[in-house]
């Protein structure tokens, strides 16, 4: 093994991986060198050998098993210092810094396992589209609260939405995908209620709605200046908020993406950026106020959800990565790899592989800082919800990085899984939250076991829980317990659309699926329908197989602790929220629901769903 191979192995770059078809792929030297550079490890010398590990997971309230031959100092998470020699003491829950022999090790004192939630169910809704065509506008946090109250009154334990991270609304209204955020620890102010509606119609027009909503919010800010509560919040949030708000103010002048800014402004600590903070103080304060207002509105929605009887309230979603040139990377460059993006290896869906154009966490920085960026990101989300979904939880095990240069193939980077799971347990235990890891697709050996050991729930989609040809669908009693079950997701057809093969028709029409392949897919869908209808016939009590309640009966009967219903299925809609592989060819994330939140809450199908869930033991839990 040469020096490059040694350094790549030490850094966690896998030398080979096996694809969906069982074929092994070797990582070329050029890719290894590019990924090492992206981690900040360019050079030729092997990485230094340490006596202490960079991190150690221990059980809260118990002495760490890490043996030390001499004196040590521990700085607890709350700032207190402990000193000793030899055996380490029992530690409270948290991330603590151990120093001994000139080296540092982070002690991650976590609960061994999160408790599983009681059996329950909830509803998934697209927040931006929670306004009917005649009303127009963008769905707001007030609409979310109304929807939560209505669903909670029916017995739902949670209300799930797509990510509400800060996006690129300031300078790029077209950058509205919830899974390509600008900053995952800040919120999108587009969902603040304003009473404005720029463009009624069946599809949300972000290009028109965004400036109208921001103008209305600015008028509100100027007409009713925030009081001392805002100033106290500013002091509490500190420099991190000020840097984010400065980024937003600079975006108004320089453009949405900082890689296109003048070089001096690409560094938030440069003299030019510091001068801009003074020159743009009024705009910085306005953008800080937008965050203050958004946090208050989300917290209020969560309060109303819980008051309505929801066991968990809001079910938020954490995007797998962040835009490489958004606010999150501008304010905290060191936490992210530079020169590589998250993606996926070649498969049947994308033979050339995928580049998601998202910046990955840099494992080197995570380990050096005690996983601070991960902890803060999880903590910020869990402040406003009772359940949190982590998109692509495989990223806690390994992440596929694609070099930015030269069309080089990507490779997997091993992530510090045990430590990342410990951090997730710590942050969830602080607030009693439930964490769901999106574990769909090809999952490496051991990840499901690690999730189960930690008490993180997985995801199971009934449409994929099948085998054989003709397909035999998994019986409800065979489902895993520690999961959230649903029929599909926002990336798949609705119940009605699935039965009609609507996504096959759309993909053929826009050229993503060849005609002969589409014919085969329709034949397979017919066999899927027969298989699922046979299964649901044992549970649906005489209902017609096409009724959404027939599918609800199957989900309700599963062993899964939680069940999620899609609002589109309650409304008998065949409109799929997002069609993967498309950008402009399909109106992703923009298609309005036919009814508003109160009308949805009053629909008879929701009441039917509640009765079905209740009959299966999915009752409200205090």
pLDDT tens track for 570-607: 999 999 999 998 988 999 999 999 999 999 999 999 99
- 3-state secondary structure (DSSP) of residue 44: coil
In what helix (H) or strand (E) does residue 71 lie, and over which residues does it extend? strand 71-75
Beta bridge partners of 340: 403
Best CA proximity match to 79, nearest among 97, 54, 52: 97
| Cα–Cα distance for residue pair 268/521, rounded to 1 Å | 51
Beta bridge partners of 573: none
| Cα–Cα distance for residue pair 32/39, rounded to 1 Å | 11
pLDDT value of residue 482: 97
pLDDT value of residue 468: 96
Q: Output the CA–CA distances (angstroms, integers) from residue 144 to 148, 162, 228, 256, 622, in the order listed.
A: 6, 12, 28, 28, 21
Structure tokens at 610: 């509640």
| Cα–Cα distance for residue pair 263/255, rounded to 1 Å | 13
Best CA proximity match to 379, nearest among 425, 336, 324: 425
| 61: number of Cβ within 10 Å | 11
Handedness of CA 261, 266, 270, 275 (dihedral sign): positive
The answer to whether 574 and 496 are in contact (CB under 8 A) is yes
Structure tokens at 336: 């992210």
For residue 295, the number of C-alpha atoms closer than 13 Å in the C-beta half-sphere is 18
Q: Determine the distance from the C-alpha atom of residue 467 to the mean position of all C-alpha atoms in its chain, rounded to a whole number.
A: 29
The answer to whether 176 and 587 are in contact (CB under 8 A) is no
Beta bridge partners of 322: 359
Q: What is the mean pLDDT of residues 218-228?
A: 94
β-pairing, 71-75 with 81-85?
antiparallel
Q: Looking at the predicted structure, is the pLDDT value of residue 622 above 60? A: no
| 378: number of Cβ within 10 Å | 25
Q: Determine the distance from the C-alpha atom of residue 188 to the mean position of all C-alpha atoms in its chain, rounded to a whole number.
A: 14
Q: Residue 615: phi, psi to the nearest 5?
A: -65, -20
Structure tokens at 324: 């490489």
Helix 548-557 vs helix 515-536: crossing angle, to nearest 10: 70
Average pLDDT, the chain: 95
Q: What is the mean pLDDT of residues 553-560?
A: 98
Best CA proximity match to 465, nearest among 329, 357, 557: 557
| Cα–Cα distance for residue pair 248/238, rounded to 1 Å | 16
- 3-state secondary structure (DSSP) of residue 593: coil
| Cα–Cα distance for residue pair 555/613, rounded to 1 Å | 9
| Cα–Cα distance for residue pair 88/82, rounded to 1 Å | 10
Going by the DSSP 8-state scheme, the letter that residue 86 receives in this structure is S
Q: pLDDT tens digits, residue range 93-141?
A: 999 999 999 999 999 999 999 999 999 999 999 999 999 999 999 999 9
| Cα–Cα distance for residue pair 146/135, rounded to 1 Å | 16
pLDDT value of residue 621: 55
Q: pLDDT tens digits, residue range 399-445?
A: 999 999 878 999 999 999 999 999 999 999 999 999 999 998 878 88
Q: What is the mean pLDDT of residues 25-51?
A: 90
Going by the DSSP 8-state scheme, the letter that residue 336 receives in this structure is B
Best CA proximity match to 54, nearest among 16, 113, 12, 93: 12
| Cα–Cα distance for residue pair 342/415, rounded to 1 Å | 13
Omega of the bond leading into 470 within 30 degrees of 0 (cis): yes
pLDDT value of residue 48: 83
> DSSP characters for 130-185?
-S-TTT-S---HHHHHHHHHHHHHTT--EEE----EE-STTT-TT---TTS-SEEE
The answer to whether 147 and 606 are in contact (CB under 8 A) is no
Lowest-pLDDT choice from 108-122, 345-359, 446-460: 345-359
Structure tokens at 492: 């798949």
- Percentage above 90 pLDDT, the chain: 88
- Based on its alpha-carbon atoms, the radius of gyration of the chain, rounded to whole angstroms, reads 25
Q: Looking at the predicted structure, is the pLDDT value of residue 351 above 70? A: no
| Cα–Cα distance for residue pair 168/189, rounded to 1 Å | 11
| Cα–Cα distance for residue pair 499/100, rounded to 1 Å | 63
Q: Looking at the predicted structure, is the pLDDT value of residue 353 above 70? A: yes
């Amino acid at each position: 093994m040469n020096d490059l191979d040694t350094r790549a192995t030490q850094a966690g770059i896998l030398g080979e991986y096996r694809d969906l078809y069982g074929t092994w792929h070797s990582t070329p030297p050029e890719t290894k060198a590019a990924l090492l550079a992206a981690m900040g490890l360019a050079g030729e010398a092997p990485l230094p050998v340490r006596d202490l590990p960079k991190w150690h997971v221990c059980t809260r309230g118990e002495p760490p098993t890490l043996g030390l031959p001499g004196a040590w100092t521990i700085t607890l998470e709350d700032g207190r210092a402990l000193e000793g020699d030899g055996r380490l003491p029992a530690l409270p829950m948290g991330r603590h810094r151990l120093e001994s022999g000139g080296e540092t090790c982070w002690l991650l004192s976590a609960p061994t396992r999160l408790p599983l939630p009681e059996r329950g169910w909830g509803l998934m809704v697209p927040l931006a589209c929670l306004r009917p065509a005649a009303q127009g506008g963008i769905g707001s946090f007030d609409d979310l609260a109304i929807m939560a109250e209505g669903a909670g009154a029916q017995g739902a334990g949670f209300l799930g939405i797509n990510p509400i991270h800060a996006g690129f609304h300031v300078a790029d209204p077209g950058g509205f995908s919830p899974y390509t955020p600008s900053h995952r620890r800040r919120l999108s102010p587009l969902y603040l209620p304003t009473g404005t509606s720029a463009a009624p119609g069946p599809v949300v027009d972000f290009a028109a709605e965004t400036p109208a909503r921001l103008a209305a919010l600015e008028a509100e800010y100027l007409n009713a200046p925030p009081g001392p509560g805002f100033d106290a919040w500013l002091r509490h949030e500190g420099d991190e908020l000020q840097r984010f708000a400065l980024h937003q103010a600079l975006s108004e002048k320089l453009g949405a993406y900082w890689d296109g800014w003048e070089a001096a402004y690409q560094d938030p600590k440069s003299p030019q950026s510091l001068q801009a903070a003074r020159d743009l103080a009024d705009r910085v304060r306005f953008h800080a106020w937008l965050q203050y207002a958004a946090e208050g509105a989300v917290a209020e929605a969560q309060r109303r959800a819980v008051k309505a009887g929801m066991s968990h309230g809001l079910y938020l979603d954490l995007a797998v990565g962040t835009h490489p040139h958004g606010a999150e990377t501008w304010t905290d460059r060191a936490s992210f790899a530079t020169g590589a993006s998250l993606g996926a290896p070649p498969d049947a869906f994308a033979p050339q592989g995928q580049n998601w154009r998202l910046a990955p966490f840099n494992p080197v920085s995570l380990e050096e800082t005690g996983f601070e960026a991960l902890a803060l990101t999880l903590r910020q989300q869990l402040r406003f919800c009772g359940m949190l979904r982590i998109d692509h939880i495989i990223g806690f095990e390994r992440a596929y990085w694609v070099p930015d240069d030269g069309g080089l193939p990507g490779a997997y980077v091993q992530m510090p899984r045990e430590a990342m799971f410990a951090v997730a347990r710590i942050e969830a235990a602080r607030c009693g939250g439930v964490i769901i890891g999106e574990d769909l697709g090809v999952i490496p050996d051991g990840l499901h076991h690690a999730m189960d050991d930690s008490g993180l729930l997985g995801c199971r989609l009934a449409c994929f829980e099948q085998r054989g040809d003709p397909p035999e669908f998994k019986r409800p009693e065979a489902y895993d317990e520690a999961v959230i079950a649903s029929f599909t997701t926002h990336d798949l057809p609705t119940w009605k659309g699935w039965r009609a093969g609507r996504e096959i028709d759309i993909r053929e029409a826009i050229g993503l699926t060849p005609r002969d392949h589409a014919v085969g897919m329709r034949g397979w869908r017919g066999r899927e329908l027969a298989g699922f209808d046979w299964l649901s016939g044992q549970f649906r009590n005489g209902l017609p197989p096409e009724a959404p309640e027939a599918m609800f009966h199957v989900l309700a009967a599963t062993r899964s602790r939680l069940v999620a219903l899609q609002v589109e299925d309650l409304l008998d809609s065949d409109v799929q929220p997002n069609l993967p592989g498309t950008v402009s060819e399909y109106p992703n994330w923009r298609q309005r629901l036919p009814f508003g939140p109160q009308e949805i809450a009053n629909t008879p199908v929701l009441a039917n769903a509640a009765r079905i869930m209740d009959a299966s033991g999915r009752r409200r839990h205090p």
